[in-house]
Structure 1
Amino acid sequence: MRPVFFLSDFGLQDPYVGVVKAVLAQKAPGIGVVDLAHDLPPQDLRRAAYALFEAVPYLPEGSVLLAVVDPGVGTARRAVAALGRRAYVGPDNGLFTLAWLLDPPRRAYALDRVKPPRPQGLDPLPGWRPGAFTFHGRDRFAPAAAHLALGLPPEALGEEVPVESLLRLPLALTPGPEGEILTFDRFGNAITTLLQAPLGGWVEVAGRRVPIRRTFGEVGVGEGVAYLGSAGLLEIALNRGSAREAWGLEEGMPVRLTGP
């Protein structure tokens, strides 16, 4: 049985995460489920795409990645399973854009044959019809992820679709010199689309020149610093503060590498 790695923007105040995991356990008893993140900013596809990019290199080959950040749930957007060295299950909305730069899908399937789970061991309640069009994490993605975790054929999930038709976000990672702010982490550090952080150089953002160093400790408290982050992308931070708040940074702002 293959492990399932689960990421969402569901948060932990509601039972949504637990219900999805209950369906996984119902469909594949004994399944191993690892939570990657659930407190991502709601409906923020760029932030979720980055989180998957950061995680995918460390997930075992053959594992199943279940990701649900889905602003278009209930619309005509497709539900899909895509197969590369890992299996990806989620909405076809660009969520996997950056992960697929590292692990391109070779086949993909629309989840149009997936049947939603049925409530278990309950007495009938007059007028009650469980199910909805807005919880595909429970009704479509969890059953599909369990199916793949069991090693069952993906063709049973639905019709095969061309991998070229899978949606991607308009994002590009580049060595520079120009890029943009991709997203922010919870500390207010700006994660950029730049793949290089040349020591001794600078990065320009929002009218500022920020020095590129190895780590925060090489600048004083309250000073700006840029460095190569844990995912291999240049990040811009304020030592002991939030660069996002202090400098009014936003997603999509241009950044540029410059020399000494």
Structure 2
Amino acid sequence: MGNYLVLQTDFGLGDGAVSAMYGVAHMVSDKIIIGDLTHEIPPYDIWAASYRLYQTVKYWPKETVFVSVVDPGVGSTRRSIVAKTNSGHYIITPDNGSLTHIAHYQGIEEIRSIDEVTSRLPHSEESHTFHGRDIYAYNGARLASGEISFEKLGNVVAASSLEILPLIEAKHNEHILEGSIDVLDIRFGSLWTNIPLAFMKEENIVHGDQLQVTIYHQGKKVYQNIMKFAKSFADVNIGEPLVYVNSLVNIGVAVNQDSFSKLYHIGTGTDWTIQLRKAPKIIFE
């Protein structure tokens, strides 16, 4: 193993929860290198947890162990699982949909169920509300340090039994590119869609072209505008909207030096869809 352990939670940093996870991991092995994906997932937002794993996992070395704890069902009958991805990474998480994007876009090689009774922090049996510390960080550290193998963490479970959230597939049909607004570039309020750059290339759309952008909420049109397909934010004026390629090589929509999401009250998830097409040329006489 590579000794890398990466933590993601919706705990925030306002109390000692994340620090306790660090402490448990270091008690298992002081050789573990711990990183933080984020601890600012909105409370209970499994969709966001799933997307942030998809955004991040492949950029860490193979055999890195990720622990993702967004767990509104903690203490219930939902399973604790460890997955080995097709890219050679490991993810320990509740089986509540947190692996949706990884399973769909990158693929999972094998899943095992962790026994929450036997595979847990010693002397934590009476606690049922902090599995992030007692089960996930503990077993993540054991796996990352090589104390236990993936195969010994639990029994194999069928991939078909994995809890999956609904997704909307990006489509390219009759010169219209359509997809969902999956997540925000949170700090800057840009919209990240699941429309791949490949669709733009198929339409021979190049930087500098004008695009008609239409956004729908639950099928109702809530925004439409003509904007430039820009190579960078500096290609448009401050306050001007643009279409661009994000860091995952999908299409994003933004306002230069402002929050598109806040300005136009645009949210994320499968209720929010977007269409792009080349705008008709307008000739002024």
- What SS does the corresponding residue of 2:36 show, helix, strand or coil? strand
The amino acid across from 1:204 in the alignment is T
Equivalences for 1:147-186 in 2 at 5 Å? Answer: 147-151=142-146, 152-174=148-170, 176=172, 177-184=177-184, 185-186=186-187
1:26 to 1:18, Cα distance in 2 relative to 1, 3 A: same
Runs of 4+ in 1 over 4 A off after TM superposition: none
Stretches of structure 1 that go unaligned for 5 or more consecutive residues are 120-128
In 2, Cα distance between equivalents of 1:210 and 1:223: 11
Partner of 2:40: 39
Whether 1:218 aligns to 2:235 is yes
Deviations 1:41-60 (A, max 9, x none): 22222222222122122111
Partner of 1:122: none
Stretches of structure 2 that go unaligned for 5 or more consecutive residues are 216-221, 280-285
In 2, Cα distance between equivalents of 1:187 and 1:132: 39
1:37 to 1:245, Cα distance in 2 relative to 1, 3 A: same
The amino acid across from 1:98 in the alignment is H
In 1, Cα distance between equivalents of 2:178 and 2:226: 14
The amino acid across from 1:159 in the alignment is N
* Number of residue pairs matched by the alignment: 251
In 1, Cα distance between equivalents of 2:70 and 2:242: 31
Q: 1:204 aligns with which of 214, 234, 242?
A: 214
- What SS does the corresponding residue of 1:187 show, helix, strand or coil? coil
Q: 1:237 aligns with which of 248, 254, 273?
A: 254
| Two-structure CA RMSD over aligned residues (Å) | 2.1
Contact 1:175 1:195 in 2 (8 A): no
Shift of 1:188: 1.4
Whether 1:92 aligns to 2:102 is no
Whether 1:117 aligns to 2:121 is yes
Q: TM-score, normalised by structure 1?
A: 0.88
Deviations 1:173-201 (A, max 9, x none): 52541112112122211111211254324
The amino acid across from 1:81 in the alignment is V
Q: TM-score, normalised by structure 2?
A: 0.81
- What SS does the corresponding residue of 1:148 show, helix, strand or coil? helix
Partner of 1:108: 111
In 2, Cα distance between equivalents of 1:227 and 1:46: 23
Contact 1:86 1:103 in 2 (8 A): no
